[in-house]
């Protein structure tokens, strides 16, 4: 694979009111690459029947995509979101109610985006990405600062298919195929006026041009995912058998407790983790051994976990003991030594 160079537009770097730096994050729209990869993305929701037809077309053509549903619609239509997830698609944040964010105060923007992410995390669990697409593609400095605070990565698009316009289907297909370039992000909609009719032709046409469809998480795999700039957590070093154990996302110390991402930690020790979105829990297996991590609370047969940004975090000491590891703590260096 040829080396890919990310192309993104950095709209702002820093604002410094009262001497306190307030970070923003870059807005991604495509990458610059010679590799013929391209990402289909679908916004909104609104219509169950049309959304299901879109899902079926993607399944019939074995295409993966990134879905940006409005969270209030998604929460009322869990079954269709689950079918998208079961098909291997990924989910991003598109706000709670689809307002034009630039017409809102910073506080209102944060409420819209935060509520959406919390609602989608309950639906998608670890299949929720940190990608955030502002409704209408409209954002301002407040939007970017809120995204940075919440650890979200804003993404727009480089090709607008116009599937939402009252134009001939052939024009939608032609416009999309002519606008396609390696590394492009294509904007479509789950309930666009022409989406269902145009999508098969777009998929077929792009494949004839030699393109491979990828999700945004693969397209932007070389880009550092946005991380929260304001957090009550402290970084923690992990060590196992004399070597640093690096996790992404990283382990963190909060309220005297070390938390680690469940899937990434267990995979290091040869465990498999299966997410059950309906029950909000992870089933962890290694051979005939298994245990459950339950989001939100615990019971006699489950460890307690918490969903944060679509990732299930668990207390390190409990999960280490569950798989037969001991733990020593160095308070001077914030280091947990596993043995």
Q: What is the pLDDT of residue 234?
A: 66
Strand ordering across the sheet containing 302-308: 234-235, 252-254, 257-261, 311-315, 302-308, 289-295, 281-286, 272-276
List the catalytic residue out of 43, 44, 142, 163: 43
d(Cα 6, Cα 32) in Å, to the nearest integer? 6
More confident residue, 205 or 122: 205
Written as six digits, the tokens of 94 are 């598109």
Q: What is the pLDDT of residue 15?
A: 34
Tens digits of per-residue pLDDT, 283-296?
A: 999 999 999 988 76
d(Cα 295, Cα 261) in Å, to the nearest integer? 12
Q: Is residue 21 pLDDT above 50, yes or no?
A: no
223 included as an active-site residue = no
List the catalytic residue out of 94, 98, 117, 189: 189
Domains assigned to the chain: 5-219 (3.20.20.370), 234-338 (3.30.457.10)
Q: Which of 26-30, 136-140, 220-224 has the weakest average pLDDT?
A: 220-224
Tens digits of per-residue pLDDT, 295-311?
A: 765 556 788 888 776 78
d(Cα 184, Cα 198) in Å, to the nearest integer? 18
More confident residue, 258 or 56: 56
Nearest to 192 by CA among 29, 38, 54: 54
pLDDT (average), residues 46-73: 92
Measured CA to CA in angstroms, residue 151 lies from 12, 68, 108, 154, 226 at distances of 16, 17, 17, 10, 5
By percentage, how much of the chain surpasses pLDDT 70?
Answer: 86
More confident residue, 213 or 305: 213
Tens digits of per-residue pLDDT, 186-198?
A: 999 998 889 999 9
In this prediction, residue 141 has a pLDDT band, given cuts at 50, 70 and 90, of very high
Q: Write the CB contacts of 189 (distance below 8 Å, at least 6 apart in sequence).
A: 42, 43, 44, 163, 164, 195
Q: What is the pLDDT of residue 302?
A: 81
More confident residue, 255 or 322: 322
In this prediction, residue 11 has a pLDDT band, given cuts at 50, 70 and 90, of very low
> Are β-strands 184-189 and 37-44 bridged in parallel, bridged antiparallel, or unpaired?
parallel
Q: Which of 74-83, 117-126, 328-337 has the highest mean pLDDT?
A: 74-83
Q: Write the CB contacts of 208 (distance below 8 Å, at least 6 apart in sequence).
A: none
Tens digits of per-residue pLDDT, 221-259?
A: 866 544 433 344 567 889 999 899 998 888 887 655 788
pLDDT (average), residues 271-293: 88
Q: How many CB atoms lie within 10 A of CB 217?
A: 17
Q: Is residue 163 pLDDT above 50, yes or no?
A: yes
* pTM score: 0.64
189 included as an active-site residue = yes
pLDDT (average), residues 258-279: 89
């Amino acid at each position: 694979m040829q080396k890919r160079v990310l192309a993104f537009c950095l709209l702002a770097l820093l604002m410094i009111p009262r001497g306190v730096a307030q970070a923003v994050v870059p807005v991604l729209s495509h990458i610059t690459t010679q590799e013929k990869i391209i990402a289909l993305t679908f916004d909104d929701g609104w219509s169950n029947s049309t959304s299901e037809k879109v899902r079926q077309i993607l399944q019939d053509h074995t295409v993966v995509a990134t879905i940006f549903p409005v969270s209030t619609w998604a929460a009322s239509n869990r079954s269709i979101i689950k079918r998208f997830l079961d098909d291997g698609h990924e989910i991003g944040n598109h706000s709670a109610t689809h307002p034009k964010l630039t017409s809102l105060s910073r506080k209102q923007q944060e409420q819209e985006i935060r509520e959406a992410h919390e609602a989608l995390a309950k639906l998608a669990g670890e299949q929720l990405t940190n990608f955030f697409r502002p409704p209408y593609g409209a954002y301002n400095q407040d939007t970017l600062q809120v995204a940075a605070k919440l650890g979200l990565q804003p993404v727009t698009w480089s090709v607008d298919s116009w599937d939402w316009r009252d134009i001939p289907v052939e024009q939608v297909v032609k416009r999309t195929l002519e606008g396609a370039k390696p590394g492009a992000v294509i904007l479509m909609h789950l309930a666009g006026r022409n989406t269902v009719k145009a999508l098969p032709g777009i998929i077929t046409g792009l494949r004839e041009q030699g393109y491979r469809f990828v999700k945004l998480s693969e397209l932007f795999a070389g880009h550092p995912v946005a991380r929260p700039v304001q957090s009550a957590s402290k970084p923690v070093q992990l060590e196992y058998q004399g070597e640093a154990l690096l996790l992404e996302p990283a382990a963190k110390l909060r309220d005297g407790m070390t938390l680690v991402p469940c899937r990434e930690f267990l995979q290091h020790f040869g465990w498999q983790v299966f997410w059950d979105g309906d029950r909000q829990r992870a089933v962890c297996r290694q051979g005939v051994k298994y245990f459950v991590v339950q989001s939100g609370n615990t019971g006699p047969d489950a460890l307690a976990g918490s969903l944060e940004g679509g990732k299930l975090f668990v207390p390190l000491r409990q999960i280490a003991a569950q798989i037969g590891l001991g733990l020593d703590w160095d308070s001077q260096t914030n280091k947990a030594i596993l043995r």
